Amino acid sequence: MTNKNKDEQIQSEEKHDVKALAPESDTPKPEQGASQNEQAKPTTSTPEFEEKQGKRGVKLGAVAIVLAVIFGGGLSYQMQKQASDYEARIAKLESQLQATTSSLSNEMQKVQSETLEQAKTVTHKAEVVLGQQQKSIESLQLAVADVKGRRPNDWLLAEADYLVKLAGRKLFLEHDVVSATRLMESADQRIAALNDPSLVSLRQSMANDITKLRTVPLVDRDGLVLRLTSLQQEVDKLPLANAILPDAPAVEKRQVSEDIYDWQDNLMTSLKDFSDNFITFRSRDGNVIPLLSPEQDFYLKENIKSKIETAIRAVYKEQGEIYKMSLETAEKWSESFFDMNNNSVKEFNAALGKLSQQNIQVNYPVKLETQAQLSDVINERLRREVTSIITEEKQ
């Protein structure tokens, strides 16, 4: 119920009370049959009537005061309740506003950090791109200067640089001393064709490198490998040695004497010679080397082939110690188990002994002096050309 409805109800109750408390008319009703004169006489108020009227006013005032107090208390309670509700709502709204403000602040910080990170990433990418572009510009300037300042003699210098680098690859990667020497000689011819006195020190370095290459001993690796492969194929044809027995002691053969008095000794000698033609028994002292079984024969020959194969690999890897030990082991096994009276075995062992003495390790030069010096000459000339071009552009 609203305050307006309460006010209307209170007013209607006051009106009802006023009507109830209103004094009835004290004027007597005219009796029937009374005369007109008697009815026309005015009725005068008495003290009793006035006293009643005063008491009724007091009651009405008290009722009005009570109603006003009740109405004021209800209105005050209702206003306090509404005020507390309003305060609760305001506190709730303030908490919601604070949470929203905090959330918005966090979101703003997150967005700002992400934006800052993206800006840093974009800036870094831009710096990288600018650096690459700067390098490209510098390389293009060098290329333009190289083309613009290129003289016919500079091509000979570039060819010499290419030949020297190729000689280094042949020497250090392939150990091809012959090719490296020829490439260095061709490069020296290109430098000589320039007829430039400033390149005398460069030609001196090239002469030193060529001298070092010529003093390197040449190893015919292909020839060694072919000879070892041929020996490896001959292993299956070599005959094995028979069982080796120790030498039997010498037996003195007794002769029959011509004296008739020695007939008994002569008879025993004749009987012994006759029996020796049927059964001969000789005792020998010493170690006997037995024959190899067929399985052992196969393993022996395969092991000798394996040693020769190891020597072949050592030739290409320039492992001199492994090469020598492999061939010496193969030669030792051949002498121990093959027939040394056979000519093919003798030739086989002689070839192994000769090849084992071959030196396959070579000390190559550590570096070529010409490479660094020639690169410095080319870079210096290119730098001077670039400097001259930049000076012309500024002017």
Give pLDDT tens digits for 177-190.
889 999 999 999 98
C-alpha–C-alpha distance, residues 82 and 88, integer Å: 10
Q: Are residues 237 and 297 in the same domain?
A: yes
- Cβ neighbours for 385, distance < 8 A, ≥ 6 positions apart: 145, 146, 148, 149
**pTM reported for the whole predicted model:** 0.44
Burial of 184 (0-12, 13-18, 19+ CB in 10 A): buried
Q: How many domains does the chain fold into?
A: 2
Closest CA to 191 of 156, 155, 154: 156
- If you average pLDDT over every residue of the chain, what do you get? 76
Q: Where are the alpha helices (DSSP H) in 238-319?
A: 263-276, 294-317
> pLDDT at position 71, please?
79
Q: Are residues 231 and 211 in the same domain?
A: no
Closest CA to 150 of 358, 381, 355: 381
For residues 206-221, give the mean pLDDT.
Answer: 88
Helix (H, G, I), strand (E, B) or coil at 54: helix
Determine, yes or no, domain membership for 89.
no
Alpha-carbon torsion angle 130, 136, 138, 143, nearest 10: -170
Q: 1-15, 216-230, 310-324, 333-347: lowest mean pLDDT where?
A: 1-15
Determine, yes or no, domain membership for 321.
yes
Contact 231, 351 (CB under 8 A): yes
Closest CA to 243 of 277, 286, 299: 286
Closest CA to 29 of 44, 50, 43: 43
Instruction: Output the domain CATH number for residue 377.
Output: 1.20.58
Q: Which is higher by pLDDT, 85 or 57?
A: 85
For residues 236-257, give the mean pLDDT.
Answer: 64
The two three-digit tokens of residue 180, written as one number: 């490296």
Q: Which is higher by pLDDT, 276 or 64?
A: 64
Q: Are residues 237 and 353 in the same domain?
A: yes
Provide the CA 190 distance to its chain's centre, in angstroms.
Answer: 45
Q: Are residues 314 and 337 in the same domain?
A: yes
The two three-digit tokens of residue 319, written as one number: 């492992």
Q: Are residues 225 and 182 in the same domain?
A: no
Determine, yes or no, domain membership for 205.
yes
Provide the CA 273 distance to its chain's centre, in angstroms.
Answer: 94
Taking residue 171's Cβ as centre, other Cβ atoms within 10 Å add up to: 24
Q: Are residues 238 and 328 in the same domain?
A: yes
Tell me the residue range of the domain where 330 lies: 219-242+287-362
pLDDT tens column, 28-49: 444 443 434 444 444 444 666 6
Determine, yes or no, domain membership for 36.
no
> pLDDT at position 292, please?
65
> pLDDT at position 6, please?
47
Determine, yes or no, domain membership for 106.
no
| Residue 343 pLDDT > 60 | yes
Residue recorded with tokens 């490479």: 371
Determine, yes or no, domain membership for 301.
yes
Q: Are residues 154 and 207 in the same domain?
A: yes
Let me know the angle formed at the C-alpha of 286 by 283 and 290, rounded to the nearest 5 degrees. 100
Taking residue 93's Cβ as centre, other Cβ atoms within 10 Å add up to: 10
- Cβ neighbours for 340, distance < 8 A, ≥ 6 positions apart: 241, 346, 349
C-alpha–C-alpha distance, residues 171 and 55, integer Å: 144
